[in-house]
A = this chain, B = another copy of it.
Amino acid sequence: MFQFIDDGTITSVNGFKAAGIHCGIKKRKKDLALIYSERSCNAAGTFTLNKVKAAPILISKKIIENKNKVKCILINSGNANACTGEQGHNDAIRVQEHLAAKLGLDPREVLISSTGVIGQPLPMETVLNGINKIYDIVSYDGGLDAAEAIMTTDLRIKSYALKVRLSVGTITIGGICKGSGMIMPNMATMLAFITTDAEIDQPVLQELLSDTVDQSFNKITVDGDTSTNDMVILLANGVSGININKHTYDYKLFAEALSAICEEMAKSIVVDGEGATKLIEVSVNNAKTLKDADKIAKSIANSPLVKTAFNGGDANWGRIISAAGKSGADFNPLKAEIYFNDLPIMMPNYRIVIDELKAAAILNLDQFSVSLDLNDGEFSTTWWTCDFSQEYVKINANYRT
């Protein structure tokens, strides 16, 4: 009931404009993005759980918690405005107020977000000058420019949109995101901005977003780190005139579509992980509880030993079962089975049935799945991870300097 749009983006959604420009925080690349809605939006958000939160996180989080209507989001890359103390807070407020004045808005209608180097003050003149330029060039086809302007060490623009056919008409959901090292406190990290022209009450929107983020962005891992600046925002401007209420079939369709676009965005972040060469789906099936399944999947997806083995194309099932074992989850290793795609690797009682040639062929694919069937219950989960390459170390050993 939903369909991805070619070259889809946040401005594929009716009533949303955007822009992305170079204002001078970075040397040459685009570094300032604006997402703007003609109509006031209901807004939902999820934010980093890191104790160390960047100034824009604290400000935007408050707006979402107060259920304020929102008209726009300003995002800069190149500077995270994190660990910048009181000055950082004041700078963030000034940025927000400056844009609000330009657009004739209340500051509480303006969400802000930053990503980039931490611990350095925002270059205020540069940013304010950038706002003076960007505010009146937002356009109905500026989505991809915005997607480009939020990138840090990302190699690829991450932008999607899909049409969702509901009982009373069609709505659109668009999204852009950035990731790369997850996290690089230095560069900050995962941001995602999602737009829709559906009309959805704020509490329902928030619940939808929180649930969806849990099943998508919260199930990917590049290096197990969590940023000071992580943020996912969903804006619903209601321009379609189609209202989505809870406990309806349309709600279910919308949730599925939102889930699909978030999953796609999440996977695009993993694929573009620093130094990553492969996307690996880690499924843990038939666990005693969902918590056990997630603990095990996370432990496998985060294990440097598993990830380096994938990098080397080594069918190292021993590291997989051992990563499961150290997860703290409750399961019986003697009942466990391991598969690469559909190829059986290990059967119960550690019976190894691996066909090394076939296994090696799978591990050399750009994308494959690793499934651990615990035969111990009814709960299953899927995570996504990438391999761990020498390139990752190179990028991160030398990033700041």
Chain A residues within CB distance 8 Å of chain B:
49-53, 82-86, 88, 117-119, 181, 183-186, 223-228, 303-305, 308-309, 311-312, 314-319, 321-327, 329, 331, 333-334, 346, 349-352, 388-390, 392-394, 396-401
- Shortest distance from the beta carbon of A260 to any chain B beta carbon, whole Å: 28
Distance between Cα atoms of A317 and B82 in the complex (Å): 12
B223 touches A304 (CB 8 A): yes
CB pair A309 B227 closer than 8 Å: no
Given A304-B225, A325-B228, A326-B226, residue A397 in contact with residue B49 (CB < 8 A): no
Q: Which residue of B lies closest to A360 (CB)?
A: B401
Whether B326 contacts A49 by the Cβ 8 Å rule is yes
| Contact (Cβ within 8 A) B349 A85 | yes
A399's nearest neighbour on chain B, judged by CB, is B314
Contact A185 B227 (CB under 8 A): no
Q: Considering only CB atoms, which chain B residue lies closest to A52 in the complex?
A: B325
How many Å from the CB of A7 to the closest CB on chain B?
A: 33
A318 touches B350 (CB 8 A): no
The 10 A-B residue pairs with the shortest CB-CB distance, nearest first, are A312-B397, A52-B325, A185-B322, A308-B396, A51-B325, A390-B390, A50-B325, A226-B326, A118-B318, A83-B350
Interchain CB contact under 8 A, B119 and A52: no
User: Please, which residues of chain B bring their CB within 8 A of the CB of A185?
Assistant: 305, 316, 318-319, 321-323
Chain B residues whose CB sits within 8 angstroms of the CB of A227 once the complex forms: 322
A314-B397 contact, Cβ under 8 Å, with A119-B352, A305-B183: yes
Cβ-closest chain B residue relative to A332:
B51
Chain B residue nearest to A120 in the complex (CB): B352
Residues from chain B with a CB closer than 8 A to the CB of A334 are: 85
Q: A223-B305, A350-B83, A393-B393 are in contact. Are A398 and B312 (CB under 8 A)?
A: yes
17 inter-chain pairs at a CB distance below 8 angstroms, sorted by A residue, are: A50-B325, A51-B333, A83-B321, A83-B346, A83-B350, A85-B351, A119-B346, A185-B323, A186-B305, A186-B316, A186-B318, A223-B305, A224-B304, A228-B325, A312-B399, A314-B400, A389-B393
State in angstroms the CA–CA spacing of A225 and B327 once bound together. Answer: 10
Contact: A225 with B303, CB < 8 Å?
Answer: yes
CA distance in complex: A100, B335 (Å): 33
Among A50, A315, A318, A396, residue most surrounded by chain B Cβ atoms (within 10 Å): A318
CA distance A333 to B393 in the complex (A): 27
- Find chain B residues with CB under 8 A from A394 CB: 390
Q: Beyond A181-B305, A223-B305, A312-B397: 19 further Cβ-contacts under 8 Å?
A: A51-B324, A51-B329, A83-B318, A83-B350, A85-B334, A85-B349, A85-B351, A88-B350, A119-B317, A185-B318, A185-B322, A186-B316, A228-B322, A309-B396, A309-B397, A311-B393, A314-B401, A318-B400, A393-B393
Contact A331 B51 (CB under 8 A): yes
Bound Cα distance A181, B319 (Å):
12
A398 to B316 Cα, complex, angstroms: 10
A209 to chain B minimum Cβ distance, whole angstroms, is 21
Q: Report the bound CA distance from A116 to B51 in whole Å.
A: 40
Q: Which residues of B contact A323 (CB under 8 A)?
A: 185, 225
**Docked pose: A51 CA to B332 CA in angstroms:** 8
Q: Which residues of B contact A396 (CB under 8 A)?
A: 304-305, 308-309, 312
Query: CB within 8 A of A311: which of B84, B352, B397?
Result: B397
Docked pose: A85 CA to B333 CA in angstroms: 10
The residues of B that contact A352 with a CB separation of less than 8 Å are 119
Contact A401:B312 (CB < 8 A) given known A304-B223, A389-B393: yes
Q: Indicate whether A308 sits within 8 Å of B393 (C-beta atoms), given known contacts A316-B186, A350-B84.
A: yes
CA distance A163 to B84 in the complex (A): 52
